[in-house]
Structures are given as C-alpha cells and as structure tokens.
Amino acid sequence: MSQSLTDFSDLIRSVRESAVHLEMRDGYGVDNEIEGFTAWRQGHRLDPADRGSWWRPWLDLVEEVTGKGVVIRRARIVSEPVSEYIAFEHSGTFTNVAAGEQIRWLPRRRASDLALPGNDFWLFDSRLVQFNVFDGVGRWVHTDQTQDSAVAKLCSEAFEAVWERAIPHEKYVV
C-alpha cells in the first residue's frame, strides 16, 4: 500500500485518544534522502528559539492533534553506541517534544527479552495498526494496515513493554 503525507495526516487527524509509534531501526533512508541530515553532519543544529526553522508540516500536525487531547507517544529502540543517524534524530527530538509528542529511548540490549513485531508501526486508538516496511538500507518500501484485534493487541503490548523500560528523551544521552 502506498501512502501520501496527506493520507497519513488525515489518518492521524482522525485519532480520538492515542497514537503510538515504535521505531526499531538504527537508520532510515540514505544520507541525501533525509531532510537536514547532511546539514547536521556539517555541524548545523536546530535552534530551540527558532521554531519556524523546525520540521514542518509534521510538528504543526502534532500540535494540532495533541491540542485536541490526543496523546502521541513514540518509542525508539536503539543500538549503543548509537549510529550517526540516531545521534542526528536525538539532536532534533526536542522539537517533537515541544510540539507535544512524548518520546522515550530504549537501548537494544534492554529489549532482548521482549516480543516485538517485525516492523516499525503506528497504533491508532488501540485498533488500527500501520506497519512501515523498509528495505535493508532503511528506505521506506510500503505500508501495511490492519484492524485485526489480535495484531493490535500484540502491538499494544509490545509498545507498552518498551515504553515501561525506555528512558524519557530529556534523560537519554547519546
């Protein structure tokens, strides 16, 4: 299934209570395909005082949805020492938090005994699961969605197990 940013925006706007996102890769995309990654490598860092320079339209969407009372939580399982890409993500995550996301990081070594789905996913209102499937170098390949209650339960339990162990963003140091 192919999905545009508009389709995803409409989906997340339809959420009534919660959206959780589990990320389990140490890298996404290829260097030049990730907005801001090359500049970050060259020393550019986002300015906390310059909200206009942050990643739009995602942060606007997060502010809109969380402003309606929806809870958005993201957990990232990462190898340590972290990859260059994860260091890049970590350096800009304060913008997601400022927009209203709650974000935690779980060192991979602390996830060994957890049952986890094979792909990153979003879980919307504990009922709709969207799996994001990537190729071996981290490029998005396609999206699968299901409302199968057993799959939603598996993903919910996996996310909550990760969330419970994970370190809040403001306390996780890369």
Q: What distance lies between CA 159 and its chain's CA centroid?
A: 12
For residue 31, the model assigns a pLDDT of 53
For residue 38, the model assigns a pLDDT of 85
Pick the range with the lowest mean pLDDT from 30-39, 116-125, 131-140: 30-39
Q: What percent of the chain has pLDDT over 90?
A: 75
pLDDT in tens, 134-161: 998 888 999 999 999 999 999 999 999 9
Q: Are 105 and 130 in contact (CB under 8 A)?
A: no
The encoded tokens of residue 161 equal 């197990």
Could you give the CA distance from residue 73 to residue 123 in angstroms, rounded to a whole number? Answer: 10
The encoded tokens of residue 22 equal 């589990």
Give residue 125's pLDDT band: very low, low, confident or very high (50, 70, 90). very high
Q: What is the pTM of this model?
A: 0.92
Measured over the CA atoms of residue 54, residue 58, residue 61 and residue 62, the dihedral's sign is negative
DSSP 8-state secondary structure symbol assigned to residue 50: -
Domain assignments of the chain as residue spans, ordered by start: 5-171
CATH of 5-171, one of 3.40.720.10, 1.25.40.10, 3.40.50.720, 3.30.870.10: 3.30.870.10
Stretch 9-13: mean pLDDT, rounded? Answer: 96
For residue 3, the model assigns a pLDDT of 55
